[in-house]
Structure 1
Amino acid sequence: MTYNFMREFADSWGLLAMALFFIGSVAFALRPGSRRQAGEAAQIPLKED
């Protein structure tokens, strides 16, 4: 009984949660100003201090 309940829960709400997390991650990566911050972070290993 527990296995079936967990499987049904994962099939429905788990998939929905993963889809919302993916959409949120993409939206966060494409927000205004993220390109500049990503470029700055990419240059950190190349800086000579």
Structure 2
Amino acid sequence: MDTYSTLRAFADSWALALIFLFFVGVVLWVFRPGSGKTYKDTANMIFRNEDKPKDKDDGR
């Protein structure tokens, strides 16, 4: 059996299964209990140093 056929058979079976399991693992990691606080903090970090709204007469 040549190399291409061997690699193709592996990619069609075991590699696909491994990639699917990795995907399921990532999804479970993202939606695990308690991770919402981390993602909420990360989403709002760009607003952390803002004390007040921007002035309308700022000129910019």
TM-score (norm 2): 0.75
Query: Per residue, is there more helix in 1 or in 2?
Result: 1
Q: How does 1:1-49 map to 2 (within 5 A)?
A: 1-48=2-49
**Whole-angstrom distance in 1 between the partners of 2:48 and 2:19:** 37
Tell me the CA shift for residue 48 of structure 1: 1.5
Tell me the CA shift for residue 16 of structure 1: 0.3
**Whole-angstrom distance in 1 between the partners of 2:47 and 2:9:** 49
Q: Give structure 1 regions of 4+ aligned residues with deviation exceeding 6 angstroms.
A: none
Q: Unpaired runs of 5+ in structure 2?
A: 51-60
User: What per-residue deviation string (whole Å, max 9, x for no partner) do you get for residues 7-37 of structure 1?
Assistant: 0000001100111001101110111111111
Whose Rg is larger? 2
Q: Unpaired runs of 5+ in structure 1?
A: none
SS at the partner of 1:32?
A: coil
Pairwise CA RMSD of aligned residues?
1.2
- Give the aligned length: 49
Identity %: 39
